[in-house]
Each structure stands twice: as structure tokens, then as C-alpha cells.
Structure 1
């Protein structure tokens, strides 16, 4: 691997990290990868574990999240045959699973964060703390919404996920794309690098190759159009110290327009099946 970029943990510790490029996979790897990652999640600003609506950004996030939840359910329905059994890994505070349950899905969820699980419990949803604590059963759909990039021991985790899928099951993952316009524009300030919480930084090539090793085939991709705007908003704050909402909107829009030609969106949903 060779040096690609130096960046830092903009949201919690301000520590510096290096991104190294794996040419075989077209993927970036965070270096070093701390053994105790928990401390890097200990922030009220870590929005995936909060339902906050205090700031304008929080409110925007929650509005987009509610819209996106329905879109995610549509994807599940399209690619599922038979029993509607779902495992969501990295379930956060449980909103996606609650939406799925309301659409007659039989659901389980995994969330390692104690505080996030407690918030889910307050909503009437009990989550498992790890894949190892799940019951011995298989699921027709397993989802990881912006979670794969957080997982240590990547190949071991993917092997476990594959074993939890039914023979005709579907794995749906969403991850940032470091080949997007907004990533290349913001460079070390690109919020979706989010080191060291993000251990891996994927491309479409990386996803195909990594999952092919586990006998899984990529069957379709879908863009996450709103991510370009949200990531640009955070990136502007990291770069300038200000929200710069108009500039962020322009960069997000330009990223999505660029992706109409390159197909390199800020974040991408990958639908995979056992091959």
C-alpha cells in the first residue's frame, strides 16, 4: 500500500491519521486503526446515535432520514421473495427497524453502542449487542446502512454475514465513495473519511472484489443523492469553521451532476446476492 492522504478526526479528538491506498482493491485503509475505537464514538455530535433536532443540520438530517427510511423499505421489497425476515447490522437507535416492522417485516437488529441500544429500547425495540449474540437463524435480507466501513476484521465479519443469509438472500450495504466529486474536492476535509471510525474507504471495484471472495455477486447499485449535500455541509464546517450552506449545496449538487456521467456518487447502495 502507498500513501494517499493525511487527514484527522475532525469531530471528536482532532488526532491525525493516514489513508493508504490498496491498488489491488482500489480501496483506502485508515492507519493506524486504534484498538479501542469506543472512545472515538463518545460525542453528542455523532449523529447516527442521536435523535437530536437541536440545530439546523440536525433537523435537516432527521427530515432526510425519514424520507430515506421509506425508500429503503422499497428496496427491501423489490429484492425479496418469500418470508420478510430482516437483520439490520448497526441499527443505531432503531428507526429503520421500526419502519420495517410497521411494514410487516420480522426484524432483528445489532447495535454495539450501549447508549444507542438504550434509546432503541425506549422506542420499544430490543437490539442485540453483537453478531455473536444473535439467535441461530437465517434472514432473507441483511442490511448495513453506512456500517461496513466501521467493522474491524472485515473478512471475518463478511463471512459471518454471509452465513446468516438464506440461499436466495439479499445483502444490502451503503458506504461512502472516495472516488466521488465531493471527496476529491474536499480532500482531507471530506467528512465521509470520518477517521478513525471509518476503517475502510471503498470504491465500486473494492466492493465487487471483496464480496466475490465470499461467493457474493453485486447485482445492482443505487445512489444516495442526499448524502452529497449532507457530507458537503459537514466538510465545509471542517474546512472553514462555518456551515456555508449555499456553498455546500452547490458542491453537493455538482457532485450529483458529475455522477450522472461518472456514476461515482458520494455514497452508493450495493445490492448483493450469493453467487
Structure 2
């Protein structure tokens, strides 16, 4: 793995306000250590140092990066794929609840194309963005409108706007956060809906596992959000959060992976127990392992 950029080169506008929060190891690829810093004004965590734009893709080169494959080899793979089928039905139900009309939907970070496939079959006019060439090949094989899945936002037709834009565990990966939110604003139709799902570092499983919490996933996750952070950054971008809801299964998947990082082995019972406790506590606090934010233009 190449040398990451020095933290002093990080272009974060409030860099002088950042406070040390936690140090984490990249368990998936490089075994390098990265630091998380808190911006107390926004409640946003920032990963430093940040790999350069040319080096960052190498941190995704792992068979364990399951959202870029349809693997069913390991127990974790099989659990992920089983839960994915149930989650797709829930996601489609949420999307269909937003409007009586099935218009244009853009799935940013569409992975292997499963959500686009179910939306297309349900009558939606689908579009997707996926930077991974391995994942995009799988995605295109699953849909009729394969030419509408591109590798970058800049490849989209600038005259198009979308009735629904979805980002399932994508926002934490984008380098230029506020610029990206401005782009989302230009892509979303006047009465459109933006669906953003991200991990929540205020959840019980995050507090329990600390530096071993798998959803920190440094350095691929450049940003780490709480609900206050999401409301702040989207508020700054001219949006408002109108509703939140949980991704219930995330606490189990993340806890199982966190146990492996913490203990060096698959401690299934401990992971399931922590995931369950996290969801039970979140029923009172709202601090689920991952949250879905329904967002509209102000």
C-alpha cells in the first residue's frame, strides 16, 4: 500500500477546530492506522490522513468488500445475501410510498444492481452510478436498461432530474462532501425525494466496539455521521430531513464483523447479542446502528 497523504494536506474547511476522537486500523486491506477527528460544530467525524485520489481505489481491492460482489462463499457472505433479499423488498416499499407515480430513480453506488433490478421490474425508469468495474458489470447483466448504469455522476445527462435519488451507504465514501450535496440538489427534481442511509457512530454497537467498530471502515469511509451531522450538512446544502428510519439488520452484520476484528475470530453469539442489545436500546434513543434519512429540498 502506498504512503497516504499527510494530514496537513487534508482540505477540510474547519481543520483547526477538529478534536482527536479515535484511532482505527484498516482491517480489510492495508492494516494501516488512521485517526478520526471530531468537528464539534457539526458533530461530524473526519478520517485522517486521507489517501490521495489516485491511491484510494487500492483500498477497495479486497474480496471481503462484499457490496462489489455476489459472493456466497463464507458464512458472512451467505448471511449478507440472505438479508439483502429481505432488505430489497423493504427498500422498494419505501420508494413506492413516496409517490403514486413511478418516475425516474437514480441509485448512486448501485453496487451489483439488485435494487435497480427490482425497481425496473416494478415499473421505475432506472439509472445508476457505480465506480467499481467489477460491480458495474454484474449490475448491467441484471437490468434491461444496462446503458443507464454509468461509472461517474459526470456521465449522467445534465438535462435529467430524478424523482428519487438513493444512496445506500455511499455518502461516507465521497471525497468532497458539500460539493457532492450541491450536485445532488441539481439532480433532484423540485418535489423529489433523496434517500440517504449511513452508519451512526452514536449507536450502542459503535460505543461498545469503539476502535473495532466495523462501520468505521477506514480509510474507505472518509466521513462518519450522527443524526445531528446529517441534519447540519444537508441543511447547509439547502435540504431538510423530513423522516428517519432504522436499518435493523445492520447492527447484527456490523457487530459480527466487529467481533472478528476485536477478537480475531468469528464470535457469532457475542455479535448477535450486541446487535440485539443495540436495537433494543435504540427503540428508546433512536440511535440505531444505521439510519435511513428521507430528505427533500427546502
TM norm structure 2? 0.91
Specify the alignment match of 1:131 in structure 2: 153
Mapped partners of 1:23, 1:82: distance in 2: 41
Shift of 1:122: 2.8
2:120 counterpart of 1:98: no
2:153 counterpart of 1:122: no
Deviations 1:198-239 (A, max 9, x none): 000000001111111111110000000100000000000101
Specify the alignment match of 1:9 in structure 2: 26
Deviations 1:130-161 (A, max 9, x none): 11000120000000000000001011111111
Shift of 1:260: 1.0
Q: How does 1:93-172 map to 2 (within 5 A)?
A: 93-124=112-143, 125-126=146-147, 127-135=149-157, 136-172=159-195
Contact 1:91–1:109 (CA under 8 A) maintained in structure 2: yes
Of residues 89, 100, 110 in structure 1, which corresponds to 2:108? 89
Specify the alignment match of 1:181 in structure 2: 204
Question: Where in structure 1 do 4 or more consecutive aligned residues deviate above 6 Å?
Answer: none
Mapped partners of 2:277, 2:219: distance in 1: 27
TM norm structure 1? 0.98
Specify the alignment match of 1:21 in structure 2: 38
Mapped partners of 1:138, 1:120: distance in 2: 22
Mapped partners of 2:100, 2:216: distance in 1: 35
Contact 1:73–1:100 (CA under 8 A) maintained in structure 2: yes
Tell me the secondary structure at the aligned position of residue 249 of structure 2. Answer: helix
Shift of 1:121: 2.5
Mapped partners of 1:52, 1:100: distance in 2: 22
Mapped partners of 2:99, 2:39: distance in 1: 34
Shift of 1:123: 2.6
Q: How does 1:33-112 map to 2 (within 5 A)?
A: 33-35=50-52, 36-112=55-131
Mapped partners of 1:83, 1:160: distance in 2: 23
Tell me the secondary structure at the aligned position of residue 12 of structure 1. Answer: coil
Give the aligned length. Answer: 275
Specify the alignment match of 2:49 in structure 1: 32
Deviations 1:55-105 (A, max 9, x none): 111111001001000100111111235342100000111011001111111
Mapped partners of 2:138, 2:284: distance in 1: 41
Mapped partners of 1:199, 1:273: distance in 2: 24
Note the residue ranges of structure 2 that are not aligned, 5 or more in a row. Answer: 1-17
Mapped partners of 1:173, 1:202: distance in 2: 11
